[in-house]
Structure 1
Amino acid sequence: MTQKLRVLTLSTLFPHGAAPNFGIFVERQTAELAIRPEADVTVINPVGVPPWPLSRLGQYQALNALPEHEEWRGLDVYRPRFRLIPKIGGASNPRRIADALLPLVRKLHRQAPFDIIDAEFFYPDGPAAMRLASALGIPFTIKARGADIHHWGDDRKCREQILQAAEQANALLAVSEALKQDMIAIGMDGSKISVHYTGLDQEKFRPIDRLAAKQALGVSGPLFITTGALIARKNQDLVIRALARLPDATLMLAGMGEEEHAYRALARQSGVADRVRFLGSVPHDQLPHLTAAADIAILVSKSEGLANAWVEALACGTPVIISEAGGARELVGSKSGGRVVDQTVKAIIEAAKAILAEPPAQELVRASVSQFSWTNNGDQLLAILSEAASTA
C-alpha cells in the first residue's frame, strides 16, 4: 500500500452544478475523509444521460453541460457520462456505468494507483464498483443508505447483483443497525457489515430563539417542517392531510420532486393551501435556520436507513415525528426526542398535539444526537477503508 491511502470514491449520488443539494451528505462525508493527511481521495460521479432525442430534454441538457472534471468544493471530481435508459434500464445500469468508467479509471490508476474503491450507494454503485475493482485487482467497499436496499433489493434482477457485490466486497457499511439487519435478512454476511452513522455539523445545526425565528418568517402559530424530495416514498401527503386538523399550524416543505403538483392540488383540496409553503430545493446553508425555527420536524417515510434530516432536526432542538423506518428507534429512544408513529394521518395528528402540549426543552432534544459528528464519521470511515485495503 502507498504511504497515503489512495481512495477512489464512486458515487452516483453526489451534488453538482445542476443540483447542488443532491447527495450533499455524501459530499460532506467525502470531504471529511479528504482533509485527513492519511488519505488521498478522488471522486468519480457517473452522470446518466439518455440517448437522443431524450437527451434534448431540459433536465438532461443541464447534465450534459456539467464539466467532465472539476474541483468541486475542494474535492477532485470526475463526472463521466454513461448511457441511461429511463424507467426500464435499472438492471443494466451497473454494467453500463462500469463500461463507461473503465477507461478513465484505468488511466487514473496508471498515474497513481488506487488502494481501494469505496462505493457510496449500494445500487447501482456497488455492482459497478465490483466490476471496476476486479479489472484493477484492488479491494472495494460498499455503503448502504436505505432506498438502495429497500427499493432496488425488491427487484429480482437487481437483488442478484446486490448480493453478488456484497459477497465480493471486502467490507460493507450501513447507516443504521436496523439497515444492517435488513441487509442480513436478504442474505448478506453480517460479519462484514459495520454500522457507520452519518456525520453532523453541530455548529450549523443548533437551537436558536424559535419565537423570534418564527416571527421573522411571518408565523405566529405552530410551525412544522418536512425536509426531503417530494416523492411518494416520503409520504408528505400524510402531513398535508394532517394539517387540516391542526388549526393555525404552518407546514414548510423543503424539497422538490415529481409529486409537487399533486401535493399542491391536495393542499388546495384540503383547504390548507395558505398554510403550506413549498420552499423548493433549499440551499443546505439555509436549512439549519428553517429547521431550528420549526416546532416539530415531521418525516414519516415509507422506508429510510437513518435520515440525515432526522439527525439535523434533533441537533437544532426540534423534536421529530418519524415513522417506524430504518434507524428511527436508534435516534428517538424517549419522548424528549419526539415520537415514532404509524404512517397514518391520525398518528401524526395525535403526536403533533402531544408534543405541542408539552414541548421538550431544545437542549434536551439536542442531547440525543450529541455523539454525531463528521469527525467521528471520518475517523470510522478511514479505519474501515484502511483495514479493508490492508487485509485484501
Structure 2
Amino acid sequence: MLRVLTLSTLFPDATRPNFGVFVERQTAALAALPGVAVTMVAPIGMPPWPLSRGDRHAALGRLPLRERWHGLDVYRPRFAALPFTGGRFHARAMERAIVPVLDALAFDVIDASFFFPDGVAAVRLGRRYGVPVSIKARGADVHHWGRAPATARQVAQAGQGADGLLAVSAAMRGDMIALGMPADAIRVHRTGVDHARFGAVDRTAARAALGVTGPLIVAVGALIPRKGHDVVIDAVARLPGVALWIAGEGPERGRFEAHIARAGIGDRVQLLGGVAHDDLPRLLAAADVMALASASEGLANAWVEALAAGTPIVVTDAGGARELLSDEQAGRVVARDPAAFAAAIADLLRAPPRTEAVKAAAAGYSWAANAAGLHAHLAGLMAARQSG
C-alpha cells in the first residue's frame, strides 16, 4: 500500500468550485488506483482580522476543517497569510498550521501539487516526518514566486531539497533548471483531460443550446493581466461579425469591461464570469476557436480541454504551447499581439481544421496516464528512500 499525503493550496471548495479543479482530478485519479490511499490537505490562507471580515474570507472561514469532497478525504487547516509581505512568511505559517493535522496521520510520501508555498512547506515537513517529498511545478508558482524578491530563494531551496520534482511541460522543466534546480531530479508529468466528457459533445447541438449563430471565439482563464484577454479583445475588434465569450472571473473585470466599451464591441463580447467546469465541454464545443494570449504558462489545461473538444486554439509561445501544437493541424502559436491573433483566428475561421485532427493533438493527455505516471514517480521516491 502506498500512502500518499497530497498537499495543495490550489484545490476546490464550496466557495470556489473551479479553483484548481485539475489538482482535484489528478488526486482523484491517483486515489482510484489499486494499492493507493490518498489524504488531501488543502490549506487556506487567511489574512488577519480585520482584513478577513469581507464576504469572501468570511465564506472561506466557514468551510469545514475536514470533509469528504467528491470522494476524497480533505483537511482544510487555516494559516495566516500576512498581506504586504510578498508571501515571505506564507510557507512557515502553513507549516505550523499543518503539523497538528499531520501528527495524527500515517503517510509514506508527500506530494506537493503546487510549488509555493506548498512545496517549500512540504520539504520542511518531509524532514520532520522522515518521508520523501515531491513537488510539482505548474506555471505561476515558479514563474512568479520563483522570481519574486521575497520568495525566490525559498523556491530555489525547496527545489534543491525535494527528493523528486515534476514539471507540467518540458519548457517548465527548463525554467526550473534555470532557477538552479537539479535537472536529473525533474520529470515531465503532463496534465490529463477527460476525453469522454470533452470529446462527446455534438458541436451543432452545443451551438443551438447556447444560441450561437455566427463565428464564436471563446477564451478560458481568470480575469488577470497574465492571461492577456485584452489582446484577444483587440483582435476580435478587427474581425467584423465575430463574437467573443470570456469564461473566468477575477480582479480585472472592471478594467476589461472598460476596454470592451472603448473598443465599441460590447454587442459582440461577453464576460461570462465563472463557468462551472462541468459546463466547459459544451462551451468549448460550441466555439470555432479558443484563444488565450497568456504572458506565461506551464501547460494550460484550457488548451488541452479545447483540443479534446475538437476546437482549435490560438495561443502565445508560452510554456509547453509548442509541445502541444507540434504542427498547425490543431491551431496556431503566435506573437502576443492583437494583429497576430486576429490573423490566426481569421485563418482558422476561413479554413477550419478537421475535428478529428484537432482531437488527436490531445490524445496523449489523459487522467489515467497522469495517475500512472504520478504513482510510478511517488513509489520510486519511497523505494529509493527505503533502500537508502
TM-score, normalised with respect to structure 1: 0.96
Q: In the alignment, residue 76 of structure 2 is paired with which amino acid? A: R
How far 1:167 sits from its partner (Å)? Answer: 1.3
Residues 334-359 of structure 1: CA distance to partner in whole angstroms, max 9, x if unpaired?
A: 11111001101011011011111111
Query: Quick check: 1:351 aligned with 2:340?
Result: no
Q: Which residue of 2 aligns with 1:81?
A: 78
SS at match of 2:358: helix
Q: How many residues align?
A: 385
Q: Match for residue 112 of structure 2?
A: 119
User: Which residue of 162, 165, 178 corresponds with 1:169?
Assistant: 162
Segment drifting more, 207-216 vs 304-313:
207-216
Identity of aligned residues (%): 51
In structure 2, what is the Cα distance between the partners aligned to 1:73 and 1:218? 32
- Residue identity opposite 2:50 in structure 1: P
Matched, 1:43 2:61: no
CA distance in 1, matches of 2:267, 2:210: 14
- Cα displacement (A) at 1:208: 4.0
Distance 1:23 1:104 in 2: 22
Match of 2:233 among 219, 236, 240: 240
Unaligned runs of 5+ in 1: none
1:252 aligns with 2:249: no
375-384 vs 84-93, which deviates more?
A: 84-93
For 1:163, what is the secondary structure of its paired residue?
A: helix
Deviates more, 1:214-223 or 1:343-352: 214-223
Partner of 1:339: 332
Q: What does residue 54 of structure 1 align with?
A: 51
* C-alpha distance after superposition, 1:137-171 (max 9, x if no partner): 11110000011111111113312111111111110
Alignment-derived partner of residue 67 in structure 2: 70
Q: Does 1:11 align with 2:13?
A: no
Distance 1:289 1:74 in 2: 25
* Structure 1 partner of 2:194: 201
**Structure 2 match to 1:31:** 28
CA distance in 2, matches of 1:40, 1:211: 42
> Contact 2:41 / 2:75 at 8 angstroms: preserved in 1?
yes
Alignment match, 1:297: 290
CA distance in structure 1 between the partners assigned to 2:76 and 2:84 by the alignment = 22
Shift of 1:87: 4.2
Q: Tell me if structure 2 keeps the 8 A contact 1:207–1:363.
A: no
Q: Is the 8 A contact 2:166 2:187 kept in 1?
A: yes
Q: Post-superposition shift, 1:212?
A: 4.0
Q: Write the distance in 2 (CA, Å) between the matches of 1:96 and 1:208.
A: 45
- CA deviation map 1:161-209 (0-9, x unaligned): 1111111111000000110011111111110001000011010011644
Deviation at 1:362, TM superposition (A): 0.7
- Cα RMSD, aligned residues only: 1.1
C-alpha contact 1:235 1:300 (8 A) present in aligned 2: yes
Q: For 1:175 and 1:9, locate their aligned partners in 2 and report how far apart those are by CA, in whole Å.
A: 17
Q: Displacement of 1:96 after TM fit?
A: 0.6
Deviates more, 1:297-306 or 1:264-273: 264-273
Q: 1:371 aligns with which of 364, 370, 377?
A: 364
